[in-house]
Structure 1
Amino acid sequence: MNKIDKRLHFLLGKVKEECKKVKELSDYELKNKTLEFKERLNNGETTDDLLPEAFAVCCETDYRVLGMFPYDVQILGGIALHLCYLCEMNTGEGKTLTATMPMYLNGLTQKSSILVTANEYLAIRDAEEMGQVYKFLGLSVKAGVKRDTNEKLDNDSKKDVYNADIVYTTHGALGFDYLLNNLVQSKEDRFMRDFYYVIIDEADSVLLDSASMPLVISGSPRVQSNLYGITDFFVTTLVEDVHYEIEDKKVWLTNKGIEYAKRYFRIENLYSKDTFNKLGYKAKINTHTT
């Protein structure tokens, strides 16, 4: 057994010891543990210090609210996720229940604790089902996506979502929200908090398979909010078959379109490195000679 395994099993033993104590608590006493934990965090303890007790409280709540008490392998998985290890669990081992323990522990910090999953159905389902556990323990939980994909959240609604103790969302929604949060007109319009703790479900799919999608925001260079508005207006002034052509679902600027863009932005070379940094292009602008 290597050092990591020894540490995980040591903490598992601590959690199971605390589970015996927590089992004797009334619902009222169990709920009050959240206030106790928050107070202890404010007094200098860390989430690592609280892990055995907080995990035990969550395990007992999982049982009382959902009728499911986490198995040892699930507790081990929760510990691994809290310690920021990559954790592989087979189908049927209960990843959703596993995540309640580290999400509850980190939700106690009242900072940004987010679970990112692959699709809207899972994000909404887990926020509703596992949300019963968090709400029982006095934490707020929100889903960052809607069932109706045509229903959009405004800034105030997004701020309400990201101010929750725990957020369930998708990689696509989070990617777009990160971009939009950096394109607001003023800092008062920002709706996201600084990232603190994130669990990525289906990490291989989100970080590898989906990494080639433009939903993944590279971070630098960032689009400047004033230039975004100017660029957005520029696109609306383009005339098809004059400034651009559509071919194989791709948009190609014509020579007239390139010259028009250079005049509009007052630049000499649309494709120079300086222009890229200045305008913060996130996508390639195609050229088509006519």
Structure 2
Amino acid sequence: MSQQPTELATFAGGCFWCMVKPFDELSGIVKIVSGYTGGHKENPTYQEVCSETTGHLEAVQITFEPAIFPYEDLLQLFWQQIDPTDAGGQFCDRGDSYQTAIFYHTEEQKQKAEASKRELDASGRFDRPVVTPILPASVFYPAEDYHQDFYKTNPLRYNSYRKASGRDDFIKRRWNTPADKAKLKDKLTPMQWEVTQMNGTEPPFRNEFWDHKEEGLYVDIVSGEPLFSSRDKFDSGCGWPSFTKPVVPALVQDKPDYSHGMIRTEVRSRKADSHLGHVFPDGPKDKGGLRYCINSAALRFIPKADLEKEGYEAYLSLFGQEK
């Protein structure tokens, strides 16, 4: 796909080590830089920021393509990484430099951030008020090189710190709760729930898209993240929709599956973690040799003519069209 216009988003969520991986490698995310913002000293060092004398917060600045990953989705993902009711830091890290904040770059971002904060505050998910401030973006200073992509360069230290900090335990308690599951179950059909949430499999040849030939985009039934294109669909004879590749490889993840006495490779969506199906090495050789065998119940189809209306105009180029 052609390069889309980009914007900046800046979030402070406590230790910036923990604020890169959740956004990294998602479709529409171009670059993530860890750094310092909101303070009064030029070019502060990590030690100076930690001394709480510069007024800076640890933050990440994200370059993103809003046509592919909207700012509203960034906000939702940001909230899911933090404790927005804590004004004194985040988890084991205390002090002003570890406070949370949303730094808006445009008036539109400000309005969307304020609306998102109001919605979260009214949701009842937290026992205390949401106190994360929404502030105008100021000068952003990139952190030292050894802080960049820390989860990749120091995975053992990153994982150890993250687990010990209390962040992961908090996220598990506050998100993906039984209430969230109940709400999702009401939204999905019994078969969609069984497939995406219980790792089930629908019957072959008796599902919505196994013989579907219309041009368009197949997206995750839960999250709407784009998964497969009709241009990559082929008739494998197996009775389920089959594709040679995902639209954006980073939006699907492969996992070993040893269930039912077999050794297979499961395919899940990255954002919603929906079970989609499996991938096998028996696809068309001239197109990479893979067969993504996907449950129709995990998918929603968007016709090519509706892509722009549905907010997927960035994917028109898959069908030889540009917006």
TM-score normalised by length of structure 1: 0.27
Structure richer in helix, relative to its length = 1
Structure number with larger C-alpha Rg: 1
Structure richer in strand, relative to its length = 2
Higher relative contact order (CA 8 A, sep 6+): 2
